[in-house]
Amino acid sequence: MGIVRVGINQARVNIKQASDQQGDKQTLKKLVVRGGRPLKGRIRVSGAKNSTLAILCACILTENEVVLENIPNISDVRVMLEIIACLGLHAYWLAEDVLHISGTAQLGGEAPYQLAKKLRASNLLLGPLMARKSLARVSLPGGCNIGSRPMDLHFKGLTGLGADLDIRSGYIEGRVSGRLQGAKIYLDFPSVGATENLMMAAVLAEGQTVLENVAKEPEVVDLANFLNAMGARIRGAGTDVIRIDGVPVLEKPVRYSIIPDRIEAGTLMVAAAASAGDVTLENVIPPHLEPLSAKLREANVRVEEAEDTIRVSTPEPLLPINIKTMPYPGFPTDMQSQMMSLLSTAKGTSIIVENIFENRFQVAQELRRMGAQVKVEGRVGIVEGTTRLQGTSVKATDLRAGAALVIAGLMAEGTTEIHNAHFIARGYRDFGVRLNSLGAAVEYK
Ligand code: UD1
């Protein structure tokens, strides 16, 4: 694709058109899956949604040009592009998965409700805005309804760096006199968002910041690598302690490639196993998938790793397993719903403990409509394997629950209609089309 230069408004128009074409709320109402077809073949995994969202926020920190490769064109990313365009950054697509972003000297300070309500990750604007602006106003974020999702750790950390934060009329209002000041901050829980926000705030702070008990997710490391490429001085990302020596400006223009999406990859792995298929994923980092691969092997799924590919195939029978979601390198909460679908036909009882988000078992009641025998008691899901699911109408309640229901549809007898399919488009690029390329029969309605 050629280079097309457009300004902020045009970029917004392009982004809107893309959302309409690829199915947001107005156009993508349901996915219809005909079950019983094994997935077979090779598929390339997209760039990581969660890295992309954080890195787009990090672009606020520079006045320079940034080129980002391996960007997934999904609706969450398009919303974030609209938000940063509102703040004065120019963004346009150089190619299908390559974005050009120009920073600005005239950075705006307000992220409006209309956009921020659509995206939980809009809370990641706060750190970089506080680092570059003395005043910022960010609407309290929206996002998936998977738990209460407080922001106390973000607040505690930013306050520790010298920001003054308040909530007024649904907006977080922040101010700081002069530069943020480096400090030692201990997180009570290794929150991904709080770690990323504080890292972005601290790169322009005066002096050294030490962040303790931080998240170790690969997306945190990706963000740190990107910030360092722009001229930040961050050490220790991927361990429990991150040290950041503040610099006055980030002045290096960069070209940066986002890591592959371990959750999209994981979802495709589970889909391959659930459909008794044989799929090879390309563009993956196998160690990032180890917490999932280990569990799939325990469930009698064959997982073969090479340098940047993973092949998944399923010798019968599927065995029951126990799962506890944990911060990385534990089993990811973002893969829990998909595993519940898979285990609903394993021979025996599986126990799933959800330790990260308290409201992440909503998929259970939809799976029950398909004949699954799933009980939920607080944070524990008990899955008694049944022989076969039956297709019916179900509804996605969040992004990963939506993907889980598509997987259930692949396994089921007959046809499954998944309503509220716009949730799926938030995080999976052309999910149905891509599954069809592996032999599934999925229609957009
Ligand atoms: C990120 C991911 C999301 C993933 C989650 C956990 C993005 C855009 N989203 O979400 O896909 O499911 O990590 O791996 O990267 N918490 C607090 N106080 C806070 C912040 C968090 O109590 O200030 C709690 C949350 O309620 C939750 C837990 O910490 O129970 C984990 O949340 P966190 O790691 O912050 O998740 P997100 O960054 O929102």
Neighbouring-strand partners of residue 128: none
Give φ, ψ of 240 to 5 degrees. -75, -20
Ligand 1 centroid from CA 440, angstroms: 33
> Is the pLDDT at 338 greater than 90, yes or no?
yes
- Does ligand 1 have an atom closer than 6 angstroms to the CB of 333? yes
Give φ, ψ of 105 to 5 degrees. -80, -25
Neighbouring-strand partners of residue 165: 174
Residue 219, both tokens: 């997306």
pLDDT tens track for 230-276: 999 999 999 999 999 999 999 899 999 999 999 999 999 999 999 99
Same domain for 274 and 242, yes or no, is no
Same domain for 42 and 54, yes or no, is no
Ligand 1 centroid from CA 189, angstroms: 9
Same domain for 180 and 212, yes or no, is yes
- Choose among 136, 119, 97: nearest CA to 24: 119
Same domain for 174 and 222, yes or no, is yes
CA 85 to CA 26: how far, in whole Å? 22
Same domain for 38 and 118, yes or no, is no
Ligand 1 centroid from CA 437, angstroms: 33
At residue 147, the pLDDT reads: 57
| Residue 22 forms part of a structural domain | no
At residue 315, the pLDDT reads: 78
Neighbouring-strand partners of residue 260: 47
Q: What is the mean pLDDT of residues 161-183?
A: 93
Residue 42: CB atoms within 10 A of its CB come to 12
What DSSP assignment string belongs to 364-402?
HHHHHHTT-EEEEETTEEEEE--S--B--EEE-SSHHHH
**Three-class SS state of 40:** strand
- Does ligand 1 have an atom closer than 6 angstroms to the CB of 151? yes
- Choose among 234, 166, 238: nearest CA to 201: 234
CA 270 to CA 264: how far, in whole Å? 10
Give φ, ψ of 309 to 5 degrees. -135, 160
Same domain for 53 and 37, yes or no, is no
> Is the pLDDT at 5 greater than 70, yes or no?
no
| Residue 435 forms part of a structural domain | yes
Contact 213, 187 (CB under 8 A): yes
In a 13 Å sphere around the CA of 183, the CA atoms on its Cβ side amount to: 16
At residue 316, the pLDDT reads: 79
| Residue 361 forms part of a structural domain | yes
What mean pLDDT, rounded, does the chain reach?
91
Question: By alpha-carbon position, which residue is closest to atom 22 of ligand 1?
Answer: 150
CA 203 to CA 225: how far, in whole Å? 12
- Does ligand 1 have an atom closer than 6 angstroms to the CB of 147? yes
Domain boundary among 217, 246, 275: 246
Domain boundary among 189, 211, 246: 246
Q: What is the mean pLDDT of residues 70-83?
A: 95
Annotated catalytic residue 144: yes
> Is the pLDDT at 145 greater than 70, yes or no?
no
- Structural domain of 312: 27-46+260-444
What percent of the chain stands above pLDDT 90?
Answer: 82
CA 8 to CA 11: how far, in whole Å? 5
Same domain for 389 and 265, yes or no, is yes
| Residue 5 forms part of a structural domain | no
Ligand 1 centroid from CA 398, angstroms: 15
- Does ligand 1 have an atom closer than 6 angstroms to the CB of 152? yes
Residue 412: CB atoms within 10 A of its CB come to 27
| Residue 84 forms part of a structural domain | yes
pLDDT tens track for 43-72: 999 999 999 999 999 999 999 999 999 999
Probe ligand 1: pick from 149, 159, 360, max atoms within 8 Å of CB? 149
Gyration radius of the chain over CA positions: 21
pLDDT band at 13 (very low <50, low <70, confident <90, very high): very low
Cα 172 to Cα 57, 162, 276: the distances in Å are 16, 15, 48
Residue entry with tokens 């390329």:
437
Same domain for 314 and 424, yes or no, is yes
Same domain for 69 and 192, yes or no, is yes
Same domain for 81 and 214, yes or no, is yes
| Residue 333 forms part of a structural domain | yes
- Choose among 344, 337, 288, 279: nearest CA to 310: 279
Question: By alpha-carbon position, which residue is closest to atom 39 of ligand 1?
Answer: 193
Predicted structure pTM score: 0.94
Phi-psi sector, 163: left (phi>0), alpha (psi -120 to 50), beta: beta
At residue 4, the pLDDT reads: 29
Same domain for 223 and 279, yes or no, is no
CA 194 to CA 152: how far, in whole Å? 9
Question: What total of structural domains would you count in the chain?
Answer: 2
Residue 355, both tokens: 């330790």
Detail the DSSP E strand segments found in 214-282: 233-235, 241-245, 254-257, 278-282
Domain boundary among 221, 246, 271: 246
pLDDT band at 169 (very low <50, low <70, confident <90, very high): confident
Contact 42, 84 (CB under 8 A): no
- Choose among 259, 185, 186: nearest CA to 221: 259
We report the CATH number of the domain holding residue 406 as 3.65.10.10
What's the angle, vertex CA 429, arms to CA 423 and CA 435, rounded to 5? 100
| Residue 209 forms part of a structural domain | yes
> Is the pLDDT at 149 greater than 80, yes or no?
no
Which residue among 57, 59, 86, 144 is the active-site one? 144
Residue 7: CB atoms within 10 A of its CB come to 12
Residue entry with tokens 């598509």:
406
| Residue 350 forms part of a structural domain | yes
Q: What is the mean pLDDT of residues 88-102?
A: 95
Same domain for 122 and 236, yes or no, is yes
